């Protein structure tokens, strides 16, 4: 819940706007004593938006401060709603909240955290979205200062996790490093990294372990818990890296297992016997098979759950048992992450915030060289960039998928929306289930062109590419005839090039058989870019030589018309 505190009329108006924009998320606190409202918001909410001066807000909240990981995030907005200042908990929600306020109030986020200013991931949130926790947060300031200062920092254990890029001075090959960053599920950090490193390590605990448990009916939580703890300890594994407890579905209501997991803050997942029976384990039991339908519960549950959560699994603690319980531990190999990102039509202010975040979140960016140039200033130091030229779409798609398959966080970029005549479909043809895929929508060239021309897409419409590089002309022609006969407004991509200079004239001729000559036709070149041009003509007067590969052409339906110099396709509303 976001507590919103306002003391003035303009503040209350802005608070009401937030409540309307974010229903169910906002609690507005007003009254004669803003300080009391601010304290109440601090006490009861996860984040606070204060329409008070920064100084006044800080004076009220200073006595209440605890630790940044537990305190609410606080953002202050000035009286004229020009700025949203992340005051407290920048890396714990305030920076993101300041950015969200822009979409509702039009404020400019003011971010002062050092890592954001240097375009470097914040160490206190590094891997948080993957479930990482920090074993020794007291080292955050020391290691963070070394990262930002360009000092050598040893990086260990991060390979295979889809983490954002760290700057080049943070490396597995860093020499003479006094500090390091270690990603490990080993209870003793010295076991998880290089033995010859004598510096201080900031240790991250990844959620890499699955504890498999089997039991007799009526087992106690104390027995299950003690067995889990001793199994982890004997294997030298950190409880903080346990992702969940897994067991057979027959034990879904076994209170001893449920309570032991709950006491340790772990989820319980269950699987049917037939799934567990298919898992190859080192210690099968015919007795267990006869009783529950699978020769293994603990080992099979751990391996099966770990494999379902990652792209591979290995048993790191074989079955141990007590009188009434069994326990085993598996380690998962995490899946890589492929974000397929649409950059929009070209203008930076039409690049979505989600796309910007995906670019900053990536360790590898793959794209056409001219598209990489558009966003090069957003690429974080240390990010690997794979770029090539036109005609190499398959190579880019394969490179992105292969990088993600190795466990990397990859952003595959394309113009407009990556799912519209762009890189999403070739990449997804190659990607298997061992990669997590995230599609990041973008504003298409067609939508940008439509808005520049008026409202040509106000009713049913069709998109057709005139490029016959991958689609036979006979198929394209058949689709154009179908769209013409169906009286769709038609948006043509790839309308004309030096090598393909006759297709647009051919489709105009087809459309002219089904449209009056005064049907509006709009064409936009380099929509939203500095050299954009937008023209409105008619079907009879269109000159194909005015069009090239950087142009989108929109041909109206029989109901489309020009109104005050704007291209309009009526929606068909009937007004009373």
The encoded tokens of residue 335 equal: 């899946």
Last residue of a domain, one of 443, 472, 501: 443
Q: Which pLDDT score is estimated for 108?
A: 87
Burial string for 196-216 (b: 16+ CB within 10 Å, else e) reads ebebbbbbbbbbbbbbbbbbe
Burial class (CB in 10 A: 0-12, 13-18, 19+), 497: middle
- Our CA angle for 40, 43, 44, nearest 5°, is 85
Instruction: Examine residue 574 and state whether it is found in any structural domain, yes or no.
Output: no
Instruction: Examine residue 573 and state whether it is found in any structural domain, yes or no.
Output: no
Let me know whether 543 and 562 are in one domain. yes
Instruction: Examine residue 118 and state whether it is found in any structural domain, yes or no.
Output: no
CA distances from residue 535 to 207, 444, 520, 541, 547 in whole angstroms, order as listed = 56, 18, 10, 12, 10
CA distances from residue 182 to 125, 163, 281, 430 in whole angstroms, order as listed = 15, 13, 31, 32
* Average pLDDT value for residue range 275-290: 94
Let me know whether 463 and 438 are in one domain. no
More confident residue, 454 or 121: 454
CB 27 within 8 A of CB 2: yes
Lowest-confidence segment of 106-120, 480-494, 532-546 by average pLDDT: 106-120
Q: Which pLDDT score is estimated for 93?
A: 85
- Our CA angle for 97, 101, 106, nearest 5°, is 150
Asked if residue 519 has pLDDT above 90, the reply is yes
Interatomic CA distance for residues 418 and 401, integer angstroms:
15
3-state helix, strand, coil in the chain (%, to 5): 35, 25, 35
Q: Which pLDDT score is estimated for 9?
A: 87
Q: Which pLDDT score is estimated for 576?
A: 60
* Average pLDDT value for residue range 228-247: 97
Spatial strand order of the sheet with 47-51 comes to 26-29, 2-6, 47-51, 73-77, 83-88, 108-110
Let me know whether 450 and 439 are in one domain. no
Last residue of a domain, one of 148, 183, 205: 205
Let me know whether 295 and 411 are in one domain. no
Residue 494 belongs to domain with CATH number: 3.30.950.10
Instruction: Examine residue 575 and state whether it is found in any structural domain, yes or no.
Output: no
Instruction: Examine residue 117 and state whether it is found in any structural domain, yes or no.
Output: no
Let me know whether 128 and 240 are in one domain. no
Interatomic CA distance for residues 294 and 323, integer angstroms:
20
Q: Which pLDDT score is estimated for 117?
A: 67
Percent of the chain scoring above 70 in pLDDT: 99
Strands 533-538 and 267-271: unpaired
Helix (H) or strand (E) holding 387: strand 384-388
- 115-127 pLDDT, tens per residue? 666 788 889 889 9
CB 505 within 8 A of CB 540: no
Length of the chain in terms of residues written: 576
Instruction: Find the domain containing 222 and state its range.
Output: 209-333
Q: Could you tell me which residues come within 8 angstroms of residue 545 by beta carbon, excluding any fewer than 6 positions away?
A: none
Asked if residue 34 has pLDDT above 90, the reply is no
Residue 230 belongs to domain with CATH number: 3.30.420.180
Nearest to 456 by CA among 560, 563, 565: 560
Nearest to 255 by CA among 301, 218, 225, 292: 218
Interatomic CA distance for residues 144 and 167, integer angstroms:
12
CB 288: neighbour CB atoms within 10 A?
21
Query: Which phi and psi angles does 159 have, rounded to 5°?
Result: -60, 135
Interatomic CA distance for residues 559 and 489, integer angstroms:
9
More confident residue, 255 or 7: 255
Q: Which pLDDT score is estimated for 575?
A: 67
Q: Which pLDDT score is estimated for 94?
A: 86
Instruction: Examine residue 362 and state whether it is found in any structural domain, yes or no.
Output: yes
Interatomic CA distance for residues 479 and 476, integer angstroms:
5
- Beta-bridged to residue 521, according to DSSP, are 537, 555
DSSP state, 165? Answer: P
Let me know whether 457 and 563 are in one domain. yes
Residue 50 belongs to domain with CATH number: 3.40.50.11220
- Our CA angle for 206, 210, 214, nearest 5°, is 160
| Distance in Å from the first CA to the final CA of the chain | 43
Residue 428 belongs to domain with CATH number: 3.40.1010.10
- 338-389 pLDDT, tens per residue? 999 999 999 999 999 899 999 999 999 999 999 999 999 999 999 999 999 8
Residue 161 belongs to domain with CATH number: 3.40.1390.40
Q: Is 529 helix (H, G, I), strand (E, B) or coil?
A: coil
Let me know whether 420 and 459 are in one domain. no
Please write down the HEC assignment for all residues of 51-113: ECCHHHHHHHHHHHCCCCCCCCEEEEECCCCCEEEEEECHHHCHHHHHHHHHHHHCCEEECCC
The encoded tokens of residue 329 equal: 């531990």
CB 326 within 8 A of CB 213: yes
Instruction: Examine residue 576 and state whether it is found in any structural domain, yes or no.
Output: no
Let me know whether 372 and 328 are in one domain. no
The encoded tokens of residue 322 equal: 């007590």
Interatomic CA distance for residues 257 and 254, integer angstroms:
6
Percent of the chain scoring above 90 in pLDDT: 74
Q: How many domains does the chain have?
A: 5
Let me know whether 242 and 316 are in one domain. yes
Last residue of a domain, one of 88, 112, 136: 112
Let me know whether 451 and 427 are in one domain. no
Let me know whether 312 and 343 are in one domain. no
For the chain, give the mean pLDDT. 93
Instruction: Examine residue 554 and state whether it is found in any structural domain, yes or no.
Output: yes
Q: Which pLDDT score is estimated for 574?
A: 75
Let me know whether 359 and 416 are in one domain. yes
């Amino acid at each position: 819940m976001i507590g919103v505190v306002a003391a003035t009329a303009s503040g209350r108006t802005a608070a009401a706007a937030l409540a309307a924009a974010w229903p169910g998320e906002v609690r507005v606190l007003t009254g004669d004593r803003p300080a009391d409202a601010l304290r109440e918001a601090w006490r009861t909410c996860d984040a606070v938006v204060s329409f008070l001066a920064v100084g006044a807000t800080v004076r009220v909240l200073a006595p209440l401060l605890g630790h940044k990981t537990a305190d609410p995030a606080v953002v202050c907005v000035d009286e004229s709603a020009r700025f949203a200042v992340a005051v407290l908990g920048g890396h714990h929600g305030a920076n993101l909240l300041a950015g969200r306020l822009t979409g509702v109030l039009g404020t400019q986020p003011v971010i002062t955290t050092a890592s954001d200013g240097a375009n470097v991931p914040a160490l206190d949130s590094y891997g948080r979205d993957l479930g990482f926790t920090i074993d020794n947060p007291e080292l955050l300031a020391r290691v963070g200062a070394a990262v930002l200062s360009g000092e050598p920092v040893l990086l260990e254990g991060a390979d295979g996790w889809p983490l954002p890029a760290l700057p080049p001075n943070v490396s597995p090959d860093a020499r003479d490093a006094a500090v390091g960053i270690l990603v490990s599920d080993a209870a003793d950090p010295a076991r998880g990294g290089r033995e010859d490193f004598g510096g201080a390590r900031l240790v991250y605990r990844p959620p890499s372990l699955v504890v498999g448990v089997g039991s007799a009916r009526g087992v106690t939580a104390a027995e299950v818990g003690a067995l889990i703890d001793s199994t982890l300890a004997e294997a030298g594994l950190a409880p903080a890296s346990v992702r969940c407890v897994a067991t057979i579905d027959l034990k879904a209501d076994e209170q001893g297992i449920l309570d032991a997991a709950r006491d340790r803050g772990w989820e319980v997942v269950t699987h049917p016997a037939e799934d567990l029976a298919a898992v190859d384990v080192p210690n099968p039991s015919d007795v267990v098979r006869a009783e529950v339908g699978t020769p293994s519960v603990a080992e099979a549950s751990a391996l099966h759950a770990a494999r379902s959560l990652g792209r591979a699994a290995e048993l790191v603690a074989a079955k141990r048992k007590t009188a009434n319980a069994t326990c085993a531990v598996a380690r998962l190999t995490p899946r890589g992450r492929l974000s397929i990102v649409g950059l929009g039509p070209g203008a930076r202010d039409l690049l979505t915030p989600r796309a910007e975040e995906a670019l900053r979140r990536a360790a590898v960016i793959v794209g056409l060289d001219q598209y990489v140039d558009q966003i090069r200033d957003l690429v974080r130091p240390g990010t690997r960039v794979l770029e090539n030229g036109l005609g190499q779409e398959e190579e880019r798609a394969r490179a992105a998928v292969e990088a993600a398959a190795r466990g990397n966080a990859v952003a595959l970029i394309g113009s407009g929306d990556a799912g519209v005549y762009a890189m999403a479909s070739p990449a997804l043809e190659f990607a298997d289930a061992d990669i997590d895929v995230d599609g990041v929508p973008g504003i298409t060239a067609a939508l940008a062109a439509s808005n520049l021309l008026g409202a040509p897409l106000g009713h049913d419409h069709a998109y057709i590419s005139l490029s016959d590089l991958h689609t036979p002309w006979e198929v394209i022609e058949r689709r154009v005839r179908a769209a013409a006969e169906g009286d769709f407004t038609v948006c043509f991509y790839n309308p004309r090039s030096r090598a393909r200079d006759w297709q647009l004239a051919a489709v105009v001729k087809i459309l002219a058989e089904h449209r009056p000559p005064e049907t509006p036709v709009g064409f936009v070149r380099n929509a939203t870019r500095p050299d954009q041009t937008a023209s409105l003509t008619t079907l009879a007067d269109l000159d194909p030589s005015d069009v090239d590969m950087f142009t989108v052409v929109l041909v109206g339906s029989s109901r489309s018309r020009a109104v005050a110099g704007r291209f309009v396709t009526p929606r068909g509303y009937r007004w009373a």
